[in-house]
Structure 1
Amino acid sequence: MKIGVSAFAWTSNFGLQHLRLLPLMRDQGFDGFEIPMFDPAQIACSEIRRAFEASGLECTVCAILPEGINPISADAAVRRKSVEHLRRCIEVSAELGAHLLGGPLFAPIGYFIERRRSDEEWKWAVEVFQNLGDLLDAHDLILSIEPVNRSETFFLRTASEAKTLCEQIGHLRIGLTIDTFHANIEEKSIPRAVQEAGNHLKHVHASENDRGLLGTGHVDFPSIISILQQLDYKGYLTIEGFGCSPNEPQSLGNLWGDPNVTPEDIAVRGLRYLRQLL
């Protein structure tokens, strides 16, 4: 498996000023770097792609759906708009040279309607994602759907639910992400969740239970990595921490980190920890 790091450790507003991070992270020994995508129209594709190619790092993308984009909306017009938005995210990811687009792509973070999900919402999600397969094939891209915890969604919270969704979508390029921060809240056993995801597992976010330094909390990374090795997992183990930069005015999801821990600590010390487990 390969190891990457998410830009979220530094910023949720990745721009050209952050491209300096790419050669630095490559020199530390990372294989890839993950950038956030909120609005695909705001991504400077050609400049970012050139920087990735110069650094030798691979690019992965984590998309967060903006307000007004919602694959499980009861409004058919919103669902059609959501298909268009996701297709544009795929196109921009391909323009960046990325091989994987992930994230909680089923609804905006924090979208709640004070009840359990309905069968109709599930059907709508399946239909939206089924409209993406042809474009994924055309661009040789993987789409990885990330379940998140109960404070962020009512729709998709566990790897088992995400696997069922992927099975019903029925496209080989559409799989799931396990984020160990969310899984620590929602799974009874993260290693078992990883094992049961099987070949539907396309991406892993390595995140401590407090989004801090890997190996300093209670997420059982040795067991998780052992299962990944048993599965012969070839994808990315991407370190994801949030809000550690002193210059970052806000943190996605109010996840400000320890002020004594720098983004470089999250990345470099996390990489060192994971390498000793591999």
Structure 2
Amino acid sequence: MSKIGVHSFVWSAGSSRSDLEKALESTHRLGYKLIEFSYLDPEQVDVKWLSGRLGELGLDVAISMGLPPEGDISSEDASVVANGVDILDRAVALVRDLGGTKLAGILSSAHGKQEHSLTRKAWDTSVSALSKVADRAKAAGVTLNLEIVNRFESNMLNTAAQGLAYIRDTGASNVLLHLDTFHMNIEEADVGLAIRHAADKIGYVHIGESHRGYLGTGTIDFAAIFDALVAIGWDDYVTFESFSTTIVDRDLSLKTAIWRNLWDDNVALAHHANRFIELGLETARRKSELVCQAHLPV
């Protein structure tokens, strides 16, 4: 069986105990093995309770986030960089306290459309700051997974190759790539080749359709993506992410331009996604076997 996760925004954008419980129960009931939460404020959420419920349901957890403008670690303002480092350190602590190992998302710069080109100074400032966070994250058993997003959500890391260069500059073994098919479909010359090229530095994978809705109903070549994941021996989580105006987190919905209602029934959506990913990966494995086995006469 594949390791398949789901983003909590499929269920709810709320962080009350009842909202979290609904997300946890739905994730478990539909057979997902991991739930991803966008950053939860430990002052607003009972982290001990949530960690306990994750354990009771046998669910792994990942936390994703995007740095705000006032926490941009590529900023020329040292106080803004320091604030970003503090935000990242607190996120690492949250992952650790929930029993997880993955912090993902836009961790290298502010999340959102920028009005200027990236400078070498901004790159170096970001690398230096994240390297320090990575040292502390490693001690906590947490990986930092840099999401490679499209040009409208970052001016720093838009391709897997850029992410690999950034990782090399950090020199940190626990800084990895967070690849997302929605973004790759926009920016990569060839998504399958990009996955193969980045193979040993991938830490987390998001599966999302070109319009953010039901998998297989957009323009993404998922067969090529599943083939590539099987080819590199990917055995970690593949997490389904989808957004609709049915469930709105004001901040993220604005930044990711969620204007259309692509689904109403989140249970049907999530059930379909789990089957789609499972079958896609199984099909890719069977194709690989046919290609690699000679089937000689006996």
Say whether the fold is shared (TM-score over 0.5): yes
Classify the secondary structure of the residue corresponding to 1:228: helix
Q: Deviations over 1:173-193 (max 9, x none)?
A: 110111111111111111111
Q: Please, which moves more after superposition, 100-109 or 259-268?
A: 259-268
Q: Deviations over 1:75-114 (max 9, x none)?
A: 1121122112111110111111111010011222225232
Classify the secondary structure of the residue corresponding to 2:153: coil
Sequence identity of aligned pairs in percent?
28
CA drift of 1:256 comes to 4.2
Matches within 5 A, 1:89-108: 89-108=91-110
Q: Tell me if the contact between 2:148 and 2:157 (Cα under 8 Å) persists in the aligned partners.
A: yes
Partner of 2:214: 213
Classify the secondary structure of the residue corresponding to 2:123: helix
In the alignment, does 2:270 pair up with 1:267?
yes
CA drift of 1:260 comes to 4.3
Q: Tell me if the contact between 1:211 and 1:240 (Cα under 8 Å) persists in the aligned partners.
A: yes
Partner of 1:166: 167
Q: Tell me if the contact between 1:99 and 1:142 (Cα under 8 Å) persists in the aligned partners.
A: yes
Count of residues in correspondence between the two structures: 276
Matches within 5 A, 1:18-29: 18=19, 19-29=21-31
- Structure 2: how far apart are the matches of 1:67 and 1:105? 12
Q: Tell me if the contact between 1:244 and 1:263 (Cα under 8 Å) persists in the aligned partners.
A: no
AA of the residue aligned to 1:102: A
**Cα pair distance change 1:60/1:52, threshold 3 Å:** same
- The runs of 5 or more residues in structure 1 that have no matched partner are none
Classify the secondary structure of the residue corresponding to 1:59: strand
AA of the residue aligned to 2:132: N
**Cα pair distance change 1:3/1:257, threshold 3 Å:** farther
Q: TM-score, normalised by structure 1?
A: 0.92
CA drift of 1:42 comes to 3.5
Classify the secondary structure of the residue corresponding to 1:166: helix
CA drift of 1:46 comes to 1.1
**Alignment root-mean-square deviation, CA:** 1.9
Partner of 1:132: 133
- The runs of 5 or more residues in structure 2 that have no matched partner are 282-298
AA of the residue aligned to 2:265: T
Partner of 2:119: 118
Classify the secondary structure of the residue corresponding to 1:208: coil
Partner of 1:276: 279
Matches within 5 A, 1:4-153: 4-18=5-19, 19-37=21-39, 39=41, 41-114=43-116, 116-153=117-154
